[in-house]
């Protein structure tokens, strides 16, 4: 993996990129959580998502939104962060012109960005949502977009994890024709603070993406 600089609307976006040895390998973009809550591309969950894609054989990139650590500008709004995400998706697709599949994965706020990006990019093959931020309640961006994805949550997250995952599953199925598989990790919090919980999240993530990508059920 190497550090790269991607030119964004507000200047440089700092990213880390792994290029698969297979020119036709699928690609993935990892979206970190809210930078105002100290999330960034090198936090434990973002790295675990990146490593899962990498270990399956994907070309994958993780990056800092504008204003975060070495990325230029000030911390952005949701709309500005979505522009950064679009820039990074374009960048990795240009780096991998032989690839026909692209996945998105996001943690907390990044999970909602992954859903929004999928609505705007018909080429997205699959997605993983890791402990989506429950403060997001506006689902007006959802429209019919048949697809499949994974929701990972910790059983020890604040609030009623089971009710939330059921609500999101039903909402995606009804509004967007999306099938969402849910895995709840016993004892884990939203940041997978215990090493064993982070390892379990990584293993479940890797198993799902590897299975779905191999079977090409999402294409």
* Both tokens assigned to 27: 């690609």
Can you say how many angstroms the Cα of residue 6 is from the centroid of all Cα atoms in its chain?
18
* Both tokens assigned to 172: 């995606």
Residue 167: other Cβ atoms inside 10 A: 12
Task: Give the containing element (helix H, strand E) for 143.
Answer: none
pLDDT of residue 219: 34
CATH number for the domain harbouring residue 68 = 3.40.50.1820
Q: 6: domain range?
A: 2-215
* Both tokens assigned to 193: 């603070």
pLDDT of residue 217: 42
Residue in the structure block whose two tokens are 């059921």? 166
pTM summary value: 0.92
State the pairing for strand pair 59-63/27-31.
parallel
| Number of structural domains found in the chain | 1
State the pairing for strand pair 11-18/59-63.
antiparallel
Statement: residue 218 has pLDDT above 70: no
Task: Please name the residue ranges forming H helices in 18-135.
Answer: 44-56, 78-95, 109-120
Give residue-wise pLDDT tens across range 33-91: 999 899 999 999 999 999 999 999 999 999 999 999 999 999 989 999 999 999 999 99
CA neighbor of 113 nearest in space, from 204, 55, 167, 46: 46
Residue 69: other Cβ atoms inside 10 A: 11
Overall average pLDDT of the 179-200 stretch: 94
Can you say how many angstroms the Cα of residue 117 is from the centroid of all Cα atoms in its chain?
10
Strands (E), the chain: 2-8, 11-18, 27-31, 59-63, 102-107, 124-130, 147-154, 178-185
What's the mean per-residue pLDDT of the chain?
Answer: 90
């Amino acid at each position: 993996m190497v550090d790269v600089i991607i030119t964004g609307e507000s200047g440089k976006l700092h990213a880390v990129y792994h290029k698969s040895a297979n020119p036709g390998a699928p690609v993935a973009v990892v979206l970190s959580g809210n930078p105002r809550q100290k999330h960034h591309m090198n936090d434990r969950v973002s790295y675990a998502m990146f490593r899962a894609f990498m270990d399956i054989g994907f070309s994958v990139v993780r990056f800092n939104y504008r204003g975060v650590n070495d990325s230029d500008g000030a911390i952005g709004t949701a709309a500005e962060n979505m522009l950064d995400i679009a820039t990074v998706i374009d960048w990795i697709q240009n780096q991998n012109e032989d690839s026909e599949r692209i996945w998105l994965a996001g943690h907390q706020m990044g999970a909602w960005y992954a859903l929004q990006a999928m609505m705007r990019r018909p080429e997205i093959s699959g997605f993983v949502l890791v402990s989506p931020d429950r403060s997001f309640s506006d689902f007006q961006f959802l429209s019919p977009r048949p697809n499949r994805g994974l929701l990972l949550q910790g059983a020890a997250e604040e609030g009623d994890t089971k009710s939330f995952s059921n609500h999101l599953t039903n909402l995606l199925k009804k509004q967007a024709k999306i099938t969402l598989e849910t895995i709840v990790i016993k004892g884990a919090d939203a940041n997978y603070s215990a090493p064993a919980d982070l390892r379990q999240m990584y293993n479940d993530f890797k198993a799902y993406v590897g299975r779905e990508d191999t079977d090409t059920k999402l294409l």
